[in-house]
Amino acid sequence: MRSIKTIGLAAILAVGVSGVASAADITLKYNDHDPLGGMRTNFVKNTWLPEIAKQTGGKLAIQDFWGGALLSSKEELKGIGDGVVDMGFVFPGHFPKQLIAHSIFNLFPRGPKSFADMAKLYRKVYAEVPAFEAELKKANVKTMLFTAGLPGAFVGTKSIKKLADIKGDKWRAGGKWKLKFLENAGALPVAVPWGDVYVALQTGTIDGCFTNYDGLHLMKFDEVAQNLMISKDLWYATPFLHLVNRKKFEALPADVQKGILKASEIAEQKFGAVYDAAFDQVKSEQLAAGYTVTELSAADVVAWENASKLSSLQAEWVAASKSAGLANAAEVMAQVKAILNGMM
């Protein structure tokens, strides 16, 4: 793995400067481990970052780096907290030891369908369950913007028309808990790094992958695994965090801080329309390419949730999270469950 201090030629080639004006008083660096071209990355590049420049009156310029040019996905949390970059995208699933509470969303396989409701849920959880903010404060980061991946989808090299079709085959998912859902569905769970999934599908190391619908399309997994099962009911759950170094943010002039937060609020509202339209766009592109796309039946959605085993998994999460350092894991589970049930 390359050093997070080494930028190199790839970083120089990957940089795109958003909202940079010659009169800008402050320049911050933003890193994203995903490449441009996807629903979320294009939104960040074309909507959120320019909105920050607008709302700060041109006082703040953002240098944006993509495809992990400065930090890989598993370096980002520490890199932002240490000030290697000032801002960046973090997927909590890549930090199970540091963001323990954030993994709880994986234990609720069905959730809100619209991003507006997801954002409302995330904001409510952050406001009412102190464990989430405490984890970010410990890492010296602060949330500016929530986005989300499209619902979870199955992408496989073999024909898959129903959930039972994955039984006995090797399937990859991101993180311990989603792997357990695959196991409950009868698949053989396999851990494969995100960057290796394309080749693993291509070579037959795995038969399929369960991940967010836009992510699998952005990474072109569907090129080598052209059988898909999708459902808007299977929200991907874990919030996508766009963070800033906390000390850096607090040292900014008050009006610049206010502008960043205002821009993030505006962008978060705009992301809802992008999210809601992207599912159908990905599906239409896959159908046009000749891929086989099957809508998961209502019965299979219920089977994936597997209510008979879900409570056991949630209890397992509580025990594991407590052992990992989240002393009040049971309380966190009860609080999040109540918030989610109230919204659903």
Per-residue pLDDT tens over the stretch 216-228:
998 999 999 999 9
pTM, to two decimals: 0.84
Residue 24 located in a structural domain: yes
Structure token digits, residue 195: 């960057």
In a domain, 264, yes or no: yes
In a domain, 320, yes or no: yes
Q: Are 293 and 275 members of one domain?
A: no
Share of the chain above pLDDT 70, in %: 93
**What's the structural domain count of the chain?**
2
Residue 31 lies in a domain: yes
Q: Please check whether residues 157 and 272 belong to one and the same domain.
A: no
Same domain, 139 and 44: yes
| Pair (23, 54) in one structural domain | yes
Percentage of the chain exceeding pLDDT 90: 84
Residue 5 has pLDDT above 70, yes or no: no
Is residue 102 one of the residues assigned to a domain? Answer: no
Q: Which of 100, 74, 41, 52 minimizes the C-alpha distance to 238? A: 100
pLDDT at 290: 98
Check whether residue 180 and residue 64 sit in a common domain: no
Q: Which of 228, 189, 223, 201 is nearest to 212 (CA)?
A: 228
2 contacts 45 by C-beta, under 8 angstroms: no
Q: Looking at the structure, do residues 132 and 189 belong to the same domain, yes or no?
A: no
Tell me, yes or no, whether 259 and 330 share the same domain. Answer: no
Residue 317 has pLDDT above 50, yes or no: yes
Going by pLDDT thresholds of 50, 70 and 90, the confidence category of residue 23 is low
Is 100 among the domain residues? no
Q: Tell me the two tokens of residue 123.
A: 């904001």
Q: Are residues 303 and 197 in the same domain?
A: yes
Strand order of the sheet with strand 227-230?
188-190, 170-173, 208-212, 152-156, 227-230, 292-295
290-314 CB burial, b ≥16 within 10 A, e <16: ebebbebeeebbebbbeeeebeebb
pLDDT reading at 3 higher than 50 = no
User: Which tokens sit at 22?
Assistant: 């010659």
Is 20's pLDDT higher than 60?
Answer: no
Distance CA 251, CA 254 (A): 9
* Helices within 219-253 (DSSP H only): 221-224, 246-251
Same domain, 26 and 128: yes
When pLDDT is averaged across residues 292-316 and rounded to a whole number, the result is 95
Q: What is the pLDDT of residue 195?
A: 86
In a domain, 1, yes or no: no
Task: Give the pLDDT band (50/70/90) at residue 117.
Answer: very high
Q: What is the mean pLDDT of residues 300-326?
A: 95
Average pLDDT, the chain: 92
How would you label 15-44 residue by residue, b for 16+ Cβ within 10 Å and e otherwise? eeebbbeeebeeebbbbbbbebebbbbebb
126 and 64, same structural domain?
yes
Q: Is residue 212 part of a domain?
A: yes
Same domain, 316 and 181: yes
Q: Tell me what pLDDT residue 108 has.
A: 93
Domain of residue 41 covers 8-94+108-148+238-279
Write the CATH number for 87. 3.40.190.170
Instruction: Tell whether the model's pLDDT for residue 197 goes beyond 60.
Output: yes
What's the average model confidence in pLDDT over 265-273?
96
Judged against a pLDDT cut of 60, whether residue 10 lies above it is answered with no
Same domain for 289 and 215 = yes
Predicted pLDDT at 174: 85
pLDDT digits (tens, 9 = 90+) for 131-163: 999 999 999 999 999 999 999 999 999 999 999
